[in-house]
Amino acid sequence: MRFVEDCEKVAGRAFLEVTQVLLREKQVRFPVLRGRSPLSKAALLTAALALLAGLPACGTKDKKTPQDWLARVVQFSGEVTLSVKEGAPSQPAKAGVVLLAGASISTGPKSTAHLRFRKGGSLKLKPNSVVRFKGGANSLSLGLEQGSVEGSGAEVSGAPITILVGEQRITLGGNSQVLVMREGDGGKLVVSLGAATILRPDGQEEKVIAGQEISIGIKAEPDAGPPDSSPADAGDDSRVVVGDEVVFYLRAAGRGRVFIRTPGSRRFLQVRRGKVVNVEPGTMLRLARRARVIISTNKDGKGGASYRGPAQLVVREGPVGRDGKRTVRLESVGKALTITASGARGKVGPKFTVENVAVSTRVAYKRVDVRVQKEKNRSVLMVRHGVATLKEKGGKITKLEAGQSAVISNGKVSNPRTPAKAGLQVKRSGSARLFTPRRRMPITFAWKSDWKEAVLEVSRNRKFRKPIFSDAVTRSWVTLPQVRRGTLYWRVRPISPDGKLGAGIKGRLSLLVDTSYRVLKIRPPHNLINQSYGNTTVYYQNALPKFAFRWTAVEGAVRYDWKIFREANLAKPVLTNKTAKTDLELRQGRLGEGRYSWYVVARNSKGKLLKGTKERKLIIRYDNATPNLQIIAPRNMMRVSGNSVEVRGVTFKGSLVFINGKAAELDVTYRFRQTVALKPGINSITFRVDDKRRGSSLYQRTVIRK
């Protein structure tokens, strides 16, 4: 960069001198569009000499930069001092300063420095760190005398970078990333990408791959293994000695596209469906939507764990299992990730890492299904089937079972969440029907709390094929958050201490379209009562009807006296009316439920009686011939300001009604009216109708108290 900048400065000065010469001669006018401008010989000669004088500087590099420089200071913060070469005095760091063999650099408290090497790769010094350059143009050696550094290996082959910690030599692999810490007489090595090799003082080499963490010492000491790289039950140390090839086999099985990038490569290559390829730790995977891969230790790519996209992953080697076999774990670096596996109860499932949190899975009933969704600067892990154990670097362990989730951010697990109990809770065996206006709704299945562990199965098939939920849980209830309308078959069976399933409870739940809204009509029915019809019976359900009375005209009559009596008291009329018309209309509610008698008297202009009609009977009767429960009040999502609400409705003959679990009082027409207390906020009112022939039917209303 400095060489290019110097060349540009020299060329600029030469051009400026040429321009000044030409202008002094007054032989050129700018701009020159066509033709030739007359120039004197002296002006041409002077301009040519100026250009020739500036060109040699563009053909040489900056003489101030030594040819054997090893690293350059890219940036720094805080108090950083350095010595550019062996024997040189210490000086404050400056951006762009180059370091030679024998140079040293140190950072103070809350200070950092970033170096970039000439042959590729970089080094970041943490606070209170000291690094000394041991020399080497091709093989760069750095001595970590204090603190910790983050190193990136060079992509150029034949340009290794070695970090010395006492007598331990750590060589960075191509395109790798490591963290080296020196702590007193010991230290630690963490490989986050690629691989690194440790050369012990006794000549023994040891390879450390991505995702592993081991201890290093000034003296050769036996390694205790990675304490935080996997859950407590991970098994033996997973470090690999140089020469032992660590390769897994990946098979593309889904419909979406699968791309892989091997360590050290810059390009992603697509893996065709059905093809099996070798995958080594450090490989990047990109799974498109609907893509699925199976990774295993079998050469045919079968029998391993299944991972679904869309997802972006890094393949890591997991710890050696208790059966002595190698395991693979994947680290999610973006988007979403779905991990599935099947097997017998208790089988260990896939292991993977989410934001430096180690996750191990286990089959609780028949399979494992764990999903990770990336949301900005955090990840949400949801367990649909099986058990997931989350272990932080500090050792904190969080266990999640089917139906639970947690948030992972910055290496910490927070907000373990279990869906709350829904307004609808299914606890008893047998058939039940729920009439709901919603297409989807939450449902809670509950059972005896003294069952330490039980298996819940919910399916739309009576033989429980392709279940909606099927797993073993230790809690006494499970909430399914979004269940669409239709018929559900469910059963709950306890698990004995020896792992056997016992006799439990089972039933069928039908989610149907709510029919109780039929009572909410805007206009009341209209009924015509004609005197010529004789006695009339009017049935109603939803609201009292309007009545219109009609009779035959009498010759000579100018007015008619209309009267109606209750059948039980014919001495006093309920209503009377005088009209010149031959019909009379009453507004809604003027006549209630009961038995009535009515007649009309015709009179002339002098008020003399001409003729009276025959007495007719009118019976107004409530019709309880309803196929299901009808809820007159309250309306769904009704808002009230009081601490209670009136509940009114009617059911069919021979049934019982329970409101929030309490029996409702029914009259002779199977109508009910009572008050339900409300709490502030959202209140769910559940109606249950029990019938010997049809079982139980459930209805729900939501009332919001302001």
pLDDT tier at 35, thresholds 50, 70, 90: very low
- CATH class of segment(s) 526-622: mainly beta
Would you give the end-to-end CA distance of the chain in angstroms? 69
pLDDT tier at 322, thresholds 50, 70, 90: low
SS in 3 state form for 247-295? Answer: CEEEEECCCCCEEEECCCCCCCEEECCCCEEEECCCCEEEECCCCEEEE
Cβ-contact 307, 338 below 8 angstroms: yes
| Per-residue model confidence as pLDDT tens digits over 160-170 | 888 888 888 88
Q: Given this model, what pLDDT does residue 20 score?
A: 57
pLDDT tier at 596, thresholds 50, 70, 90: very high
Q: Given this model, what pLDDT does residue 29 score?
A: 47
Second-level CATH architecture of 630-705: Sandwich (2.60)
Cβ-contact 350, 230 below 8 angstroms: no
| Per-residue model confidence as pLDDT tens digits over 458-488 | 999 988 988 999 999 999 999 998 888 889 9
Cβ-contact 181, 200 below 8 angstroms: no
> In CATH, which superfamily holds the domain spanning 425-514?
Immunoglobulins (2.60.40.10)
Q: Given this model, what pLDDT does residue 526 score?
A: 65
Q: Residue 231 pLDDT more than 50? A: no
Q: How far is CA 290 from CA 107, 273, 388, in A?
A: 49, 12, 23
Cβ-contact 541, 626 below 8 angstroms: yes
Q: Given this model, what pLDDT does residue 241 score?
A: 24
Lowest mean pLDDT among 309-318, 385-394, 589-598: 309-318
Q: Residue 138 pLDDT more than 70? A: no
Overall average pLDDT of the 166-187 stretch: 82
The pTM for the full model equals: 0.44
Q: Given this model, what pLDDT does residue 4 score?
A: 38
Tell me how far apart the alpha carbons of residues 570 and 564 are, in angstroms, rounded to a whole number.
Answer: 9
Lowest mean pLDDT among 15-24, 91-100, 483-492: 15-24
Q: Residue 223 pLDDT more than 50? A: no
- Domain boundaries along the sequence of the chain: 2-58, 71-217, 248-417, 425-514, 526-622, 630-705
Q: How far is CA 660 from CA 433, 584, 591, 657, in A?
A: 16, 46, 34, 10
**160: which residues sit within 8 A by CB, 6+ positions away?**
139, 140, 153, 154, 171, 172
b/e code 611-636 from CB counts within 10 Å (16+ = b): eebeebebebeeebebebbbbbebeb
Q: Residue 236 pLDDT more than 90? A: no
Tell me how far apart the alpha carbons of residues 232 and 80 are, in angstroms, rounded to a whole number.
Answer: 41
Decide which of 2.60.120.1440, 2.70.150.10, 2.130.10.10, 2.40.30.10 is the CATH code for 248-417. 2.60.120.1440
| Per-residue model confidence as pLDDT tens digits over 630-672 | 888 888 888 898 889 999 888 887 788 999 888 998 887 788 9
Q: Residue 122 pLDDT more than 60? A: yes
Among residues 535, 493, 489, the alpha carbon closest in space to that of 510 is found at: 489
Decide which of 3.30.360.10, 2.40.37.10, 2.60.120.1440, 3.40.190.10 is the CATH code for 71-217. 2.60.120.1440
Q: Residue 613 pLDDT more than 60? A: yes
Query: Would the CATH topology of 71-217 be identical to that of 425-514?
Result: no
Would strands 454-459 and 469-473 be described as parallel, antiparallel, or unpaired?
Answer: antiparallel
| Sign of the CA dihedral running 126, 127, 132, 137 | positive
Q: Residue 597 pLDDT more than 90? A: yes
Paired tokens of 440: 């989807």
Q: Given this model, what pLDDT does residue 206 score?
A: 82
**What percent of the chain clears pLDDT 70, i.e. is strictly above it?**
79
| Per-residue model confidence as pLDDT tens digits over 380-393 | 999 989 999 999 98
Would strands 112-117 and 140-152 be described as parallel, antiparallel, or unpaired?
Answer: unpaired
| Per-residue model confidence as pLDDT tens digits over 525-577 | 667 888 887 888 887 766 677 888 999 899 889 999 999 999 888 888 999 99
The maximal CA–CA distance of the chain, rounded, in angstroms, is: 145
Q: Given this model, what pLDDT does residue 19 score?
A: 53
